[in-house]
Amino acid sequence: MSGQMADVIVIDDEEFAVVEPEPGQLFEPRDLGLSPVMTHTANTRGVLARYRVTEEGRLLLSDLQVGHLEQPPAIDGIEPTTDEYGQVWTYLDLDRPIAWSGDLLAGASPILDLYVHAGHAPVWHYESVMALDVEDGLVVAREDRSAEVAEYRDDRSDDDDNAFERMLKKIRLRFADDD
């Protein structure tokens, strides 16, 4: 398997990779009548989403690319366009509210020396890390967690199997006070 392409979230005009949403993905493509198929080895899910956070803090699905065997349905009246092979379909300017609740970690400026050749890059592979607490599609809190992640990256040891989970617990907003 190849390194997997991440969904993107735009926060204050800066693009971040969606790295650690908890719980799970931000929306279910099948709820929109989509049946994604793998588009290539770097996108085995068959879906790439672009989200944005508005000035008011709303989480929106702005664009979507999906692998589909036949033309997928319109979403909110927007018909998808396709590539020359009719396998990858793109929805632009959806601006569809996402009613997701959870804790989202997003990373920008990937550290190329830490590139992952299989699966998704973990949060500590990014220089800039933002933590978002989202309630029913509204960002209720957000903090820059880059310093904590850099500390973990600098101090990490392969001998400590639980260090990554402790770091995640430390930087997540929703669960930060559970100690």
The DSSP output letter for 166 is H
Q: How confident is the model at residue 5 (pLDDT cuts 50, 70, 90)?
A: confident
**What span, in angstroms and rounded, lies between the C-alpha atoms of 93 and 59?**
14
106 compared with 173, residue with greater pLDDT: 106
pLDDT in tens, 67-80: 998 899 999 999 99
Q: Which of 19-23, 34-38, 78-82, 138-142 has the lowest mean pLDDT?
A: 19-23
Per-residue pLDDT at 14? 95
* Residue span of the structural domain in which 108 resides: 1-179
In angstroms, the CA 148 to CA 48 distance is 28
Q: Give the residue with greater pLDDT, 137 vs 21.
A: 137
- Separation CA 91–CA 80 (nearest Å): 5
- Summary mean pLDDT of the chain: 86
Alpha carbons within 13 angstroms on the beta-carbon side of residue 134 total 30
Q: Give the pLDDT of residue 110.
A: 80
Q: Regarding predicted confidence, which is higher, 43 or 137?
A: 137
The band of 178, judged by pLDDT with boundaries at 50, 70 and 90, is very low
What whole-number distance in Å separates Cα of residue 63 and Cα of residue 47? 11
Which pLDDT score, from 0 to 100, does residue 179 have?
A: 42
Give one DSSP letter per residue of 60-119, joined into a string: EEEEEEEE-SSPPPPBTTBPPEE-TTS-EEEE-S--EE----EEEEEEEEE-GGG--SSB
- Burial grade of 6 (CB within 10 A; 0-12, 13-18, 19 or more): middle
Residue 30 Cα distances to 27, 38, 49, 141, 163, angstroms: 9, 14, 14, 29, 35
Q: Coil, strand or helix: which one is 175?
A: coil
Which residues are CB-neighbours of 71 under 8 A, at least 6 positions away?
80, 82, 86, 89
CA 119 to chain centre: 13
| Bigger pLDDT: 115 vs 104 | 104
Give the count of domains, the chain.
1
| Model pLDDT, residue 54 | 97
pLDDT level of residue 18 (50, 70, 90 thresholds): very high
